[in-house]
Amino acid sequence: MISNCYMHSAYRAANKGLRRFVDSREGRLTQRALLLLGPAGTGKSTLINNFFRTPEFEAVDTPLGLRQPAIIVEAPSRGTVGALSEVILAKLNDKNPQRGNVQAKMARMFHNLLEQKVGVIVIDEVDQLTLTNAFAYADYLKSILNQSRSRLVLVGLETALSLPRANDQLARRCDAPQLLNAFDWFKLSDRSEFKQILEGIQNDAPSVFAECPISDPTLAAAINFATEGSLGFVDSLLTYAVDCANDDERDQLTIADLAQACDSIYQLRSIAGARINPFRDALPLQWRPLPSSPSATTPRVRSCTTKAGAR
């Protein structure tokens, strides 16, 4: 629903930093790793996919063999150095990534990286490498930089900073981190931009939000609280809410839909019961959904009761 709205200022700044890093790879011998960090749902993977899944970085078969300007892999959860090597080898079209011990896998990996002239290795969810042995993985990443001509783009949560902190040689090779943070409602610039994004969504589908203008400061604050300022969770919240309206054969969103969608988000994130639902418990009275009867399980909205087709 909000894919076009990922182009906010932090996204643009991170995209610019990534472009500078990639374009300056020739002739820079020290800063060959870049960390792209931020909470879940802030657009990191979206940025990486939009940037690298373009003709500029497409793999090409040549008379001299396969050439891959960039590869994107996902770090294995609670894996080993060997497991990460297998993931990279699979992306390099190795016929049997599991073959051999750790040293043999790394040797084949370095050979293929050089053979295929891989300029950039993107490791998504890199924070998962810190769940087992950050020191071993930091040394492994340093070895990739030493033994290949590839640069590293490390994408994940801010806990991934423990990797360069575990190895001074890796830290010296890292460029300044690019941060994609969630929108902090108590920071004026963040609040203003968050409301602008919601207003853009609202303007794209004015009939859907006619009775519940999500750019209204009160509703915008509730949405920010429910999603912790993460655009990914804003997208999920509004998508679920629209689905609730569609299930009831309504074209217009209600506060009750947002409340139900918020419950779903909390359940998926395992925070149900630990965090209030702002659409049900914290809105001013004129916005707050009320049950239509004592036995009702789905709240009814006092100020948002227009049904589809009603005029």
**Could you read off the pLDDT of 105-120 as tens digits, one per residue?**
999 999 999 999 999 9
Q: Average pLDDT, whole number, for the chain?
A: 86
This prediction has a pTM of 0.82
pLDDT value, residue 270 = 78
**Structure token digits, residue 20:** 């500078």
Q: Does residue 311 register a pLDDT over 90?
A: no
Q: Does residue 95 register a pLDDT over 60?
A: yes
CATH ID of 3-179, from 3.40.50.300, 2.40.30.10, 3.40.50.360, 3.40.640.10: 3.40.50.300
pLDDT value, residue 275 = 82
Average confidence (pLDDT) over 136-157 = 95
**Could you read off the pLDDT of 265-303 as tens digits, one per residue?**
998 887 766 788 999 887 765 555 444 434 333 333 333
Q: How far apart are CA 37 and CA 47, in angstroms?
A: 11
Domain segments of the chain as ranges: 3-179, 188-301
Which range, of 61-70, 214-223, 268-277, averages the lowest pLDDT?
Answer: 268-277
Average confidence (pLDDT) over 150-166 = 95
Q: Does residue 69 register a pLDDT over 60?
A: yes
**Could you read off the pLDDT of 177-187 as tens digits, one per residue?**
999 999 999 99
Average confidence (pLDDT) over 90-111 = 95
Q: Does residue 306 register a pLDDT over 70?
A: no
Report residue 79's pLDDT band, with 50, 70 and 90 as the boundaries. Answer: confident
pLDDT value, residue 262 = 94
Phi/psi at 33 (5° precision): -135, 140
**Could you read off the pLDDT of 14-40 as tens digits, one per residue?**
999 999 999 875 555 567 999 999 999
Average confidence (pLDDT) over 241-267 = 93
Phi/psi at 269 (5° precision): -95, 5
